[in-house]
Chain A
């Protein structure tokens, strides 16, 4: 290098050609605001209507920038916690993970670059509430393609439709371990389902245990407030799944099947006892009498026994389980499955007197006087009748009675053409059982298929098995042959007339649309009602019964403080889990009344 580097001195001067040029970032700003890119991760916006307050944003945020708080004007309801995210923008790092895990897609980030304030508190604000204008500036949004939620359910292995009707073998085969772990791993632990479950089961907790390959823990968690979980794992009406956060854009977590999976890992009563290892309190000196060994009575008995009560159940039938034993068909809920749960309940000290009908084999009064409290869980055993001509012909059978006989191992002659009347689960069960007995089956239902109260999976299952459904059909008469046996059903077609009061449309028979369908048996399944003939007059007077159900308070206490009631005879939801919830609530009521009072 020479002492004076001419080139090295002159070259830099070429920089002068840049003179007066503005860097492009300054061309418009600050005079014209710069428009951010289409997926810029600016400040949050939340669509308050879409949001269900599941809190998954708050869970994923590694900076603890989000807390869930109530908002004026938004009430919590089933499937919505009523809370909404509030963001501390002093903690946020604008990663957008909260957006990626939002199951509804309500949360997004906007195109807003800057927010300036000298008030530190003002950095804490609620997207959507404090920046409604953000709706127009959404940029980083959640799509199904980019979402980190797993929207697709692990399919449940099942027997194939025509294979099923050959026997009463269980249709649903259950998840294997790998399938259960994968399905459980979809859950975001938001707990919205817990609120919707009548019994508030600890759903996210046991699902998490399954996901973490800790099935025994799952079983323990499940038994904390449900003593008949395998029953629920197989036949529950799963209100929880209706509100599952993932269901907003995908298929709900298979909560019921996961419970089924966990409980099926424990295959006998001794093992249940070993794994659940329940703490049984020393006897507290109180005795409780229970009428009916259905789900509600069994639940009350189990938790009372754990709390040190001396519990005795009086059951009219030879087996416990109520309608889940004598109503629900075995291809849905096998007897062994029920038996091991009942056996376990007996093992922890619950006494059951079978074949003992209260009102006949023992009077209600005697029970009332013998025990410190009485729980009544007698269900809805009496079927409603249609009230049409010919209903008393031979071969016209009530579906619950039919199911009772079949579940009891009896033969029922239904011939080869069965007509089932009704659209609920009982109707579907009766139809599917009839298919298994070899009959052609047609369901007549007053409304449209989409109006059927039966579980859609059950309806689908029936169709797969070849059950024929005739919707908008109102039976008007059963015709008999000369031997007094039913041979046909006459019905009218119905049209759906919108209801002025905004309720679901009503079926109205179309004059002259008469049709007749051949039948070797007709199974009526239009609902059941209570039978309280076991109550002596003094009790019948004292206990308030409205619209066929016991009137109870939040602890299932009837108008006679010593008598508690639950299950179908007290609730309107009429399913196993509601019965279990009633039983569990009654335990708290009985404990409060007897123990705490003392």
Chain B
């Protein structure tokens, strides 16, 4: 017997929703027949605000795009501005930036552990990973002066040099986390519930992924090797040795495997940074920010975030404020086009797991 269709509103406030957005689903029984996303609850007019700030001031706002991983946005903005102005960045600063980006990647994946597992009812994982993430936040606090929002990468380099003894602390933390990864494997990836609820669920079609511009772990989870760090290396990624993990399958499980392996790669990168980082300046100082005008023109810089490729476009009319700024985030595709498509035919209970696996981030949509 065919059941009567019902419409359910999930979000904007819902523990299974990442960030504030709503998914309106039409279900027959517990099978989704239509999904519509509704965004707008988090709109903070980022891009308009950037126009109202001088070239420096915006970096304090940009990190607010993404709580778990604020640094790639800071980095891509800084690099776009540097490109527009032709400002050199000291080598040491580039290494420090890469370290920060990779630490942020690990910290962010730690939160994803909690979210992904939590969406399946495996709550212990989150309790561990939030605790382990704190070790990285401690490092951030020492390096940048902030735990969550670092506001550290700015045009010209980074704000402060590494404090004394910082390298050792980083290495110690990496050793600790590397060991912990085995525990997470046991608790999460080997867990039969996790396997059952992720394999074959939320399958992304490879062809559609390419056509729609899917990026990051969702794309690599379709077996497609795409990563800005390798394809279009920035900072000093071309001087570092690491691989980009991919996984065939296109389901939640594949995306999880990609992330799982990526953490190990990030640890590898951080260690290389500590090993190779040269001395010298950490900052090529910008002039007095009030009067700092950028030449006419525009620039676009892209960075690999945990959600995939993000990019910052800035345009200058020669003044002290950006004429226009635009941020490209992965979520616009992942959390609207892709999600609406993926959910059809899936079980109501899997919405949260699917959203988590896509790295949905509403502020990237509402800019």
Contact = CB atoms under 8 A, between A and B. Distances in A.
A208 interface: yes
Contacts of B149: 93-94
A95 B60 contact: yes
Nearest to B184: A15
A150 B287 contact: yes
A149 B190 contact: no
B145 A41 contact: yes
B128 interface: yes
A39 B186 CA distance: 38
Given A7-B190, A12-B186, A94-B146, A40 B141 contact: yes
B67 interface: no
Contacts of B199: 1
Contacts of B6: none
B56 interface: yes
A70 B190 CA distance: 65
B145 A140 contact: yes
B291 interface: yes
Nearest to A56: B290
Contact of A146 (B127, B160, B191, B289): B160
Contact of A149 (B192, B195, B283, B288): B288
Given A24-B131, A94-B146, A95-B60, A1 B290 contact: no
Nearest to B139: A37
B291 A184 contact: yes
Contacts of B195: 1, 5, 8
Task: Select the residue from B53, B135, B291 with max chain A CB neighbours within 10 A.
Answer: B291
Contacts of B138: 37
Nearest to B285: A148
A184 B291 CA distance: 9
A59 interface: yes
A117 interface: no
B323 to A, nearest CB: 15
A25 B292 CA distance: 41
A341 B22 CA distance: 70
B145 A12 contact: no
A185 B187 contact: no
B289 A101 contact: yes
A18 B183 CA distance: 10
A188 B292 CA distance: 11
Task: Select the residue from B141, B188, B283 with max chain A CB neighbours within 10 A.
Answer: B141
B232 interface: no
A411 to B, nearest CB: 50
Interface residues of B, number: 46
B349 interface: no
Nearest to A211: B291
B163 interface: yes
B145 A8 contact: no
A189 B290 contact: yes
Contacts of A39: 142, 144-145, 160, 163
A60 interface: yes
A146 B159 contact: yes
Contacts of A24: 131, 134-135
A169 interface: no
B27 to A, nearest CB: 27
Interface in B267-287: 283, 285-287
Interface string B254-265: 000000000000
A237 interface: no
A185 B291 contact: yes
B60 A62 contact: yes
B61 A188 contact: no
A15 B187 contact: yes
Given A38-B142, A39-B160, A146-B159, A11 B286 contact: no
B151 interface: yes
Interface string B103-139: 0000000000000000000001001101100110010
Interface in A552-593: none
A9 B192 contact: yes
Contacts of B183: 14-15, 18
B163 A96 contact: no
14 contacts: A1-B192, A1-B199, A5-B192, A8-B192, A9-B192, A11-B186, A23-B127, A24-B131, A24-B134, A37-B141, A96-B145, A148-B288, A187-B291, A188-B290
Interface of A: 1, 5, 7-9, 11-12, 14-15, 18, 23-25, 36-41, 59-60, 62, 93-97, 100-101, 109, 139-140, 146, 148-150, 182, 184-189, 208, 211-212
Given A38-B163, A185-B288, 16 more contacts: A1-B192, A1-B195, A7-B192, A23-B130, A24-B131, A37-B141, A37-B142, A39-B142, A39-B160, A39-B163, A59-B290, A60-B57, A109-B145, A148-B285, A150-B287, A188-B288
8 pairs of A and B residues whose beta carbons are closest in the complex:
A8-B192, A23-B131, A5-B192, A95-B60, A11-B190, A185-B291, A41-B145, A62-B57
